[in-house]
């Protein structure tokens, strides 16, 4: 399990770095990204960062979210966490935008559970899917 978690974490760090510099992304939520706030909290509370992250599309609408999720080929739609395969999902179901906003959740939010596939293949998959 420790070796598996290390792969999840390393893949996710690379993907978070890629997403944080992508022009279609407004925000990446991952504690492994360096920032003054993250560093202080991380040093106090964490020993690792797992394979779970979320990101928000600048085009924060259902059609954009659906387009990205439908274009990925390696990531599979699913809500699990910590699996061998990489998973993708969004709380935006197309008819709940008002509820998401009320709950302070971006309608452009997408969650990834990063698996064991090579990080460069996962990044290439996301890159082609984000070509909106």
pLDDT tens by residue, 85-113? 999 999 999 999 999 999 999 999 999 99
Question: Is pLDDT at 3 greater than 80 in this prediction?
Answer: no
Cα separation, 72 vs 4, in Å, equals: 23
Tens of pLDDT, residues 17-66: 999 999 999 999 998 777 656 566 666 666 666 889 999 999 999 999 99
Q: Which two tokens stand for residue 91?
A: 């709380």
**Domain spans of the chain, in order of start:** 2-129
- What's the pLDDT score for residue 31? 83
Torsion of CA 95, 101, 105, 93, to 10 degrees: 0
| DSSP labels, 33-50 | S--HHHHHHHHHH-S---
- What's the pLDDT score for residue 38? 58
Sheet strand arrangement including 87-89:
25-29, 52-57, 109-113, 87-89, 76-77
What is the CATH code of the structural domain delimited by 2-129? 3.90.1150.10
- What's the pLDDT score for residue 39? 61
Tens of pLDDT, residues 62-92: 999 999 999 999 999 988 876 789 999 999 9
In this structure, how many other beta carbons lie within 10 angstroms of the beta carbon of residue 41? 12
């Amino acid at each position: 399990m420790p070796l598996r978690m290390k792969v999840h974490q390393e893949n996710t760090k690379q993907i978070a770095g890629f997403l944080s510099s992508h022009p279609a992304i407004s925000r990446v939520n991952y504690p492994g990204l360096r920032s003054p706030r993250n560093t202080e909290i991380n040093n106090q509370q964490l020993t690792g960062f797992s394979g779970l992250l979320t990101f928000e599309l600048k085009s924060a609408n259902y059609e954009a979210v659906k387009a990205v999720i439908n274009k990925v080929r390696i990531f599979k739609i699913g809500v699990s966490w910590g699996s061998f395969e990489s998973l993708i999902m969004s709380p935006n179901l197309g008819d709940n935008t008002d509820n998401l906003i009320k709950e302070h959740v971006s309608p452009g939010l997408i969650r990834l559970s990063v698996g064991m596939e090579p990080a460069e293949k996962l990044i290439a998959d996301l890159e082609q899917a984000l070509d909106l």
